[in-house]
Amino acid sequence: MERTVAILHVSLELDVDFEGFTRALERLLGRFDEGLLAGLATAPARVEERLGKAAGEEGLMLFAVRDHGLLQGMHGSRRQARQYVVGNPLVATEMTRHDIRAGLYAPLRLLVYAPRDGVTAVEYDQPSSLFGQFDNAAVTAVARSLDAKVANLVAKARSEAGTTDKA
């Protein structure tokens, strides 16, 4: 079966330095490490506690950073561009216990890049539109909370980096 799914894509331009924004973003995120899952089969409550403590201010963790700008060096000059893989296993399991297909989009991805000096762009697909395609009210409710978490994360990083938003 195939079907077309409408996704709401968020694209922001912020009057802030790329390095300042990404430093703030990374500081606000907790860190995911596979070691946090140790003992899952025998002590799931302890794992849940560790995961909860590892989350950042918006309840999100950094899973990976991919430096897409570095790869641009193969085709000329390097750019400032990083893909952030962010999420929280506890939030993901709130959705996947209702519909395992939600695992396709957890964790989330954000692309942060500098389109020009002094401006940082942030791009991501709105979580509720990604997860909403599964037509499951419980999954969509959690995804809407992720909409707010991601928006708040970006706003806090922007604020920490000392910026004002561009339309």
* Three-state secondary structure string covering 41-77: CCCHHHHHHHHHHHCCCCCCEEEEEEEHHHHHHHHCC
Q: What pLDDT is stored for residue 72 in this prediction?
A: 75
For residue 122, which amino acid is it?
Answer: V
pLDDT for the residue 80: 93
Q: Is the pLDDT of residue 75 over 90?
A: no
* Rounded Cα–Cα distance for residues 157 and 152 (Å): 8
pLDDT tens profile 9-48: 999 999 999 999 999 999 999 999 999 999 999 999 999 9
Averaged pLDDT for residues 143-161: 97
Torsion-angle region of 165 (φ positive above 0: left; ψ -120 to 50: alpha; else: beta): beta
- Run of H or E residues at 125: strand 119-125
pLDDT for 4 beyond 80 = yes
Tell me the two tokens of residue 16: 């802030």
pLDDT recorded at residue 166 = 52
Would you state the pLDDT for residue 76?
Answer: 78
Average pLDDT of the residues in 87-104:
97
Threshold 0.75, pTM exceeds: yes
pLDDT at 138 over 70: yes
Is pLDDT at 93 greater than 50 in this prediction?
A: yes
Name, in order, each residue with C-beta under 8 angstroms of 161's C-beta and a sequence gap of 6 or more.
14, 16, 17, 20, 21, 23, 24, 120
What average pLDDT is seen over the chain?
93
Q: Is the pLDDT of residue 167 over 50?
A: no
